Structure 1
């Protein structure tokens, strides 16, 4: 029975295949038939398409790479106070004016860099019934050229100049109670010129350390008047004058002194808070021909906070230890509110 159904299925399949093959292979004679092909709606064109060459002029960009970056800031601070004659709180009329100019230029190309920084400061205060006195007076000009040796190390050479604009006085009172000034410093008395070369470590843009293995400093005292201390009660009597044999490390009768030394200079400048810049410079000068107790130290620190586009408040401080000037640490501090113009903006 199973064989019967199997034969029947095979017979049906074979018949269907033969029938499909016969239908698919039936020839059709198209001779004499009117067959029309439908025209394509797309446009057609025969022949060659001509191409015309069009000249395109290249665009030349007139741009130059500027390797210089400069910044100039000019600040003015004014402080004034006035009291009536019957003011019971006490006080003295005063007027203080101070100015600051800071110019910095930086050049950087490949492994070579150059930095020049100029700082000019001057200020005076006048109190009623008193002599005018200086509050700020400084000329500072630093120049440094460097060649990069590795990622953080440079070989540098630098030259630095420092002095002051105006005469400086030490004030005392005579028998009548009036102030008497004694000249103790002026322009190029003293003046310092320092040359140095060595290696610089700069791990970031805001911090660097110079190690000056070969440094020389010339100290100038060009006016011998700073050696003389006059008597406040009898200033016109030369017999009562006191003469110092050495001033700022320079012997009386000489104009300058040269020293060879090992020098370290550390610089830090960074925006520590929003619109608040911290800038510091520490300098250590170790003479080769003197004992270690004669190491010179100087630390300059300034914090400037910008209130708006023009106004700012600044706090500056200086600490100095130099046995050629004094056996004790010298210090100065200034707090000022003023106007600052920065170029370029």
Structure 2
């Protein structure tokens, strides 16, 4: 009987101790989440145009579909910060008499660890990654296709170590005098159609640029209650081949105008200069009306 009472007492004591530890852990977790700022949005848009055979103004029957998913999870406690951003975009268009073509295709991931240095400055280390989901084609006569890009062909993994200037929540500038970059082209057939092979030496799948400099600037602003802008600029310079025309530039801009709670108009623009891709400036833009759903833990 005494043993039974002792076991019961021990069980109750352990249960109380476990409950206290569990409550303490839950409180700790709940407390820690206050240091996180997270946000996720997903959007879909659909466009269609149709014309009768005797439509005198002219036109081409078409169907277009686009999608965008973006998320961020930022942690800040004391002098330490950790910012993470993901952006996925994909769109297709089908014009009558043509094959289905891409209108948008992007995978972007960025992660940055920072430590406050003083004032508006912080030390940081970062990684960002860019590629696309599916093959890209160059179209010729009779809608003939030539593959010029694909998933991980190319892909860019860029690191950065330096100082960040962040005077407010809207603008941030990273200055990375040490910024190694890895360029991947995993499809060996790409070089047949893109002689530059995006800078990767023939017969290889990876090009490593160890000695390089990077600028990375972001400006995200709610212009009004229903209009917001997100912009990102990247400059990359290889010290070993440094010249004015060998510096890479990329500017991404997204404007979102909300019509109702879930309906919005989205404008996206991508502008690229990279001599390893093309001697000229590349650009793409898209304007779409669709549905956008957004969740956030912002108060």
Matches within 5 A, 1:15-30: none
Question: Does the alignment pair 1:325 with 2:287?
Answer: no
Q: Over residues 257-283 of structure 1, what are the superposed CA-to-partner deviations in whole Å (9 max), with x where a residue is unaligned?
A: 011211111110011123111111111
Whether 2:283 is the aligned partner of 1:315: answer no
Aligned partner (choices 204, 207, 216) of residue 257 of structure 1: 207
Q: Structure 1 residue 304 and structure 2 residue 268: aligned?
A: no
Give the aligned partner of residue 82 of structure 2: 114
Compare the two structures and name the one with the higher helix fraction. Answer: 2
Counterpart in 2 of 1:19?
A: none
TM normalised by structure 2 equals: 0.87
Structure 2, unpaired ranges of 5+: 1-22
Question: 1:51-81 CA deviation, whole Å, 9 max, x = no partner?
Answer: xxxxxxxxx9985322212111000010011
Greater RCO, CA 8 A, separation 6+: 2
1:214 aligns with 2:182: no
Verify: 1:96 aligned to 2:96, yes or no.
no
Give the TM-score normalised by the residue count of structure 1. Answer: 0.75
Number of matched pairs: 268
Gaps of 5+ in 1: 1-59, 230-243
SS in 1 for 2:125: strand
Instruction: Quote the residue 2:7 is aligned against.
Output: none
Partner of 1:335: 287
Aligned pairs for 1:209-288 within 5 A: 209-229=173-193, 245-259=195-209, 260-288=211-239
Q: Does 1:148 align with 2:112?
A: no
Q: Distance in 1 between matches of 2:133 and 2:252?
A: 19
Q: Which consecutive aligned stretches of 4+ in structure 1 deviate over 3 angstroms post-superposition?
A: 60-63
Q: Distance in 2 between matches of 1:246 and 1:302?
A: 30
User: Which secondary structure does the structure 2 equivalent of 1:92 belong to?
Assistant: coil
> Could you tell me which residue of structure 2 aligns to residue 169 of structure 1?
137
Helix, strand or coil at the partner of 1:251 = coil
